[in-house]
A and B are shown apart, each in its own frame.
Chain A
Amino acid sequence: SAVISQKPSRDICQRGTSLTIQCQVDSQVTMMFWYRQQPGQSLTLIATANQGSEATYESGFVIDKFPISRPNLTFSTLTVSNMSPEDSSIYLCSFGLAENEQFFGPGTRLTVL
């Protein structure tokens, strides 16, 4: 399996600011995803990060709020824009090495005051 890292691991931010989360994989992967896990909840897919094109967002998530970049096959960023306390969650990037395997990064724990 590949190694996946996220930065920062946690942050406390003020309302109205933005935070960019980085995800780095040590192998080239075709599909990368961003998930959100709200406190005490399950995981919800935000978007699929496509290399060289715009991300594909799930219902309820928009590019203006969660802009995503994927400049190459090993790296992606997710920005949480104009944050409010409701954005306090764990944000996880995920990738698939093959059709059957999907791995998750360690997550970024975000608290918005």
Chain B
Amino acid sequence: GEDVEQSLFLSVREGDSSVINCTYTDSSSTYLYWYKQEPGAGLQLLTYIFSNMDMKQDQRLTVLLNKKDKHLSLRIADTQTGDSAIYFCAEKGGVDSSYKLIFGSGTRLLVRP
């Protein structure tokens, strides 16, 4: 079945760049997503990328997709303490999987002052 994996924890210093990595197994994925969850809050859609794209940039966020290796990354430039949260990647399957989202386990990002 489909599987999405992420590293569990990342610690960076304020002002540095953060790179959160994700791998997935479903080759029929249509879209890949990054969500942010702050403590006690719901999920905030940060960005998404269509599966036939290699890169997408949105202000401080850069998403890179290597479809051959099924590897997705999220780079946060100039990381701030407010970026501390759990980041989930998710992949949306094709019509055969009813377009449902499969989530990774989440990466907890800690930004040190």
Contact = CB atoms under 8 A, between A and B. Distances in A.
Interface of A: 31, 33, 41-45, 48, 56, 58, 92, 94, 96, 99-107, 109
Interface of B: 30-31, 33, 35, 40-45, 48, 50, 88, 90, 92, 98-101, 103-106
Contacts of B45: 101-104
Contacts of A107: 41-43
A94 B33 CA distance: 14
Contact of A56 (B33, B44, B98): B98
B35 A104 contact: yes
A99 B35 contact: no
A19 B2 CA distance: 31
In terms of DSSP, what is the predominant structure of the interface of chain A? strand
Contacts, number: 50
Contacts of B105: 41-42
B103 A102 contact: no
A31 B98 CA distance: 10
Given A102-B33, A102-B92, A104-B35, A45 B42 contact: no
30 contacts: A31-B99, A33-B100, A33-B101, A42-B88, A42-B104, A42-B105, A43-B103, A44-B103, A45-B101, A48-B98, A56-B98, A58-B100, A92-B42, A92-B43, A94-B101, A99-B30, A99-B99, A100-B48, A100-B50, A101-B45, A101-B48, A102-B45, A102-B92, A104-B35, A104-B42, A104-B43, A104-B44, A105-B42, A107-B41, A109-B40
